[in-house]
Each structure stands twice: as structure tokens, then as C-alpha cells.
Copies of this chain bind each other. A is one copy, B any other.
Amino acid sequence: MKIAIVLFNRANYARSKTLMIELANVKSVELQVICGASMLLEKYGKSYKQVEKDGFSIARKILSTFDGDSLASQTLTTGACLNALAHVFSDLEPHLVVTIADRYETIATAIAASYANIQLVHLQGGDISGNIDDKVRDAVSMLSDYHFPSSERSKRRLESLGITPERIFNYGCPSLDLIKKDWNDTDILRLANYGGTGSKLELNSPFILVCFHPVTTSFGKSGEDVAVLLASLMEFKTFRKIILWPNPDAGTDDVSKTYRIFRESNHDHSFSFFKNFSPEDYSILLSMTSCAVGNSSSFIREGAFLGTPAVIVGDRQVGRETGNNVLLTSIDRDAIVEAISRQVAHGRYEEDHRFGQGKSGSLIASKIIELFKNGESNSRYSNH
């Protein structure tokens, strides 16, 4: 059986890596890895290289991202993904396609597979968040044949969207499988040598981990928002601030530009900027940080699993299911400062396994194999 998986950014990979490993180990399965969009771009750390380094061979790379950092470029990028995938699926003829979560390019995978009458498996459906992601995620669910959400609440929401319960399987999120709990000095050394700009990564003193993505539905405001965020972080002078560059959503240039201006006008050596960590290394940072600040869903998901104190800033994750480790705040300097202070004071939370037990990849792989052995693959459309 040929199974294709389409990855469009580093988060896609983190959320499917252990599933990929499991599938690659099944004899009857030929795994076809397709990398596109930001995974191929220098400014997002060319994360396809990590995929190759992990031993996967990439069947196709599809350069597909339009420059321009506008809403129209998101649409054009999606069109470019769609065109490329039409050719790729015709060539590779997978029996099954796996797509992940809710990025805007994802709908291209869902269309190209479903229009070609190829079975479509969707990971991470049923979530609620802000942004255009909600619409994309639900539309992809409608085009999919099997659903692997990452929590009970998301499973129930998929049911409330009219999807047959028999086609929904909650085995949690594979990104949690990657969490490294038993890190040691070698790991710390490796982390210390990551190439970034700004000050070096030093982990022996307390640090705040920051990741802020633009919010496409309030396009045009992201630059200001991140300026407020930086002003808040300036208050925490005794902490290092480890900042990750944003995803390539509309507005990402505004975020990046604000960071650049900040760096040039403000030689505060307590800020370091990084493009890309391996998921495992990222989990170590999440384990060690005094507080995670921004709007990355990893703070919610991996954060819950690890009990990382987190401050979610702004609208990007509005409505999203969280554990107790999360404080929500508006984009307001005082509010952010207060929330961070509270979380730093509180320290680590109890682990919360609502998003998985750390074995999701293996469970999903087994179920996929089982479903297709039993010839369930023929019962299309029954979920509608």
C-alpha cells in the first residue's frame, strides 16, 4: 500500500514524525513523503533537511510559496500547491494521503486527494482556534475519510459536524511522542550550539521562550502587536528571551521586520533569535523555560503535557482547548507583564495528558493499517 504524507511546515512534521516512523516500518507500506511551502525556504530554516536527516527520503519537493506577505499570496500559494499536487498524485498514485491540521496550504492536499478519489486521512481535526485556521480545518474535515483528532473534545466536535463516529479515532497528538523528558548534558550542549542571531543560546540561567505568529484575520496589525510583546518582555531583564521566527502566514514580514528593527535599535544582549529547532530539542526548551509567551499552539499542547507555564497573547488561539498551564491575555503591555509575572511565580504545572499519552504515532499507524486491511477503504462518503 502506498501512503503519501504532505508536509508544509515544521509543525506539520512534529505532529506526524512518529506516525511516519511507524508507517515506514510496516513492510507492506511504501511511504511517500512530500515536502512543500515553507519547509523548502531558507528563511524558515529549510526544515525538509531535518526530515532527510531523520532518515526519510523525500519523494517530491514542491516549491510553492508566493512572496508578498499578503492575503492574496496565501491564496496563490494554495493554488500552486494544488497544481503541483495534481501532478504529484498522478505520478505517485498513493492509495492513501495523510494531511495534518489546519494551515492554509493544507486544503490543497485535501482537494487534490479527494478529487482524485484517493482516501484522505486528517490528523488534528475538530480543534477550535482563532484565525482562518478554523475554516480551513473544518473544510478539510469535510473532504476527509478518516479523522484522528488529538483530544476527546475535538473528537466530540467532529461528531457535532456530522461526521460518523466510526470514522473518528482519538489517539492524541503525535507531537507529544517526541517530547524528551530525560535530556542530559549532551542535549544542553547541542542546544547551546544552535545557530541563531543575537546573543548565544545559554540555558544555565532562567529564560522566557517566545513564539508569536501573525494573525491573518486581523492582517496589518501584527507588527504593532509584536512591538507590544517586545515591550513587555523588556521588563523581564533578568531573564534571557529566546525568540522563534514566525510561520509564513500573511503578516509574517511585519513580525520579522519589527524584530529586526528592535534588534538594530536595541542592543539588549538578553534576546536571541532562532529559526528552527528539532521537535525534540524544542521540547527540552519547553521543559526548561520559566514561561512560554506568544500564540504558538505548542505552548498549549506540548505545554499541557509538560506542565509548562504559558501566556497566550491575543486572538490566535481564542476558543482553543487548553489545560491549566495557560493564561490568556489581550495584546496589552501591562496585561502581558502581569500574566508572565504570575506564571513565573507559579512555576511548573502538573502534567496534563488530555492531548495524548506520548504513543499517538504508533496507535494511529496501527489503526490505518487495520482499516485498509479490512477493505473499509471502499465505504466512501458514508461519513456524510
In the assembly, what is the distance between CA of A115 and CA of B264, in Å?
A: 33
* Residue of chain B at shortest CB distance from A110: B139
| Chain B residues with CB below 8 A from A160, complex form | 162
Partner of A63, one of B62, B70, B82, B217: B70
User: Are A115 and B71 in contact, CB atoms less than 8 angstroms apart?
Assistant: yes
Partner of A111, one of B67, B69, B78, B161: B78
In the assembly, what is the distance between CA of A43 and CA of B67, in Å?
A: 10
For chain A, residues 356 to 384, give those with C-beta under 8 angstroms from any C-beta of chain B: 380-381, 384
Partner of A384, one of B86, B138, B381: B138
Q: Is A74 an interface residue (CB 8 A)?
A: yes
Q: Is A231 an interface residue (CB 8 A)?
A: no
Chief secondary structure at chain A's binding surface: helix
| Chain B residues with CB below 8 A from A104, complex form | 115
Pick out which of these stretches binds chain B: A8-16, A19-27, A129-137. Answer: A129-137
User: Are B85 and A63 in contact, CB atoms less than 8 angstroms apart?
Assistant: no
Pick out which of these stretches binds chain B: A87-95, A329-337, A338-346. Answer: A87-95
Q: Is A73 an interface residue (CB 8 A)?
A: yes
* A-to-B contact residues, CB < 8 Å: 40-43, 60-76, 78-80, 82-87, 89-91, 104, 107, 110-112, 114-117, 128, 130, 132, 134-136, 138-143, 157, 160-162, 197, 216-217, 219, 248, 253, 257, 263-264, 380-381, 384
Report 12 cross-chain contacts, Cβ distance below 8 Å, ordered by A residue. Answer: A42-B257, A43-B67, A63-B68, A63-B76, A65-B67, A71-B116, A78-B82, A78-B115, A134-B381, A134-B384, A135-B143, A139-B139
